[in-house]
């Protein structure tokens, strides 16, 4: 339950998801996400809501209509043999349409799979030792 509880407190996510500048948890279901940009010229922000939450087992979220980026995610938590937790993470980002969106896609798409893999490894490390480390 500790792993689920840590993830469910959405403002914890930037502690190990290095592509996020912040996640502001406005209420139990509503949050505002801000993406780090490579050249910090502007904030890319979107609003999201929890669409399914089964305590200790699954959290799913989706960006709200009209958001700058379309984002969906799901994290499933299962008990591991012994005293651990296995997490399964699925996250998708779709930038806005147009030139600005195309430039975001150009930056994010080639790195996205590796970025999520690194975030999950960073989360594992954070939960084990209490701090994230750079994964390369």
For residue 83, the domain's CATH number is 3.30.530.20
Q: Indicate if the pLDDT at residue 134 is higher than 60.
A: no
Q: Tens of pLDDT along 31-50?
A: 999 887 766 667 788 899 99
Q: Tens of pLDDT along 49-89?
A: 999 999 999 999 999 998 877 888 899 999 988 888 889 98
Q: Are 16 and 123 in contact (CB under 8 A)?
A: yes
Q: Is residue 50 part of a domain?
A: yes
CA distance 121 to 133: 9
Question: So what's the pLDDT on residue 25?
Answer: 93
Q: What's the mean pLDDT in 98-127? A: 69
Q: Are 23 and 8 in contact (CB under 8 A)?
A: no
Question: pTM score > 0.85 for this model?
Answer: no
Q: Which of 48-52, 98-102, 122-126: highest mean pLDDT?
A: 48-52
Task: Count CB neighbours of 59 within 10 A.
Answer: 20
Domain total in the chain: 1
- Residue 21's domain comprises 2-128
Q: Is residue 135 part of a domain?
A: no
Q: What's the mean pLDDT in 9-29? A: 91
Question: So what's the pLDDT on residue 117?
Answer: 78
Q: Is residue 134 part of a domain?
A: no
Task: Look at strands 84-94 and 30-35 and give their pairing.
Answer: unpaired
């Amino acid at each position: 339950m500790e792993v689920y509880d840590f993830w469910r407190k959405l403002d914890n996510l930037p502690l190990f998801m290095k592509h996020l500048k912040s996640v502001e948890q406005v209420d139990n279901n509503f949050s505002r996400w801000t993406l780090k940009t490579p050249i910090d010229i502007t904030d890319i922000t979107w609003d999201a809501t929890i669409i399914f939450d089964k305590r200790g087992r699954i959290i799913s979220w989706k960006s709200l209509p009209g958001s700058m980026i379309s984002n969906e995610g799901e994290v499933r938590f299962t008990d591991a043999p012994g005293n651990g937790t296995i997490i399964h993470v699925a996250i998708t980002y779709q930038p806005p349409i147009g030139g600005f969106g195309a430039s975001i896609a150009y930056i994010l798409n080639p790195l996205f799979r590796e970025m999520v893999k690194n975030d999950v490894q960073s989360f594992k490390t954070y939960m084990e030792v209490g701090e994230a480390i750079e994964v390369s």
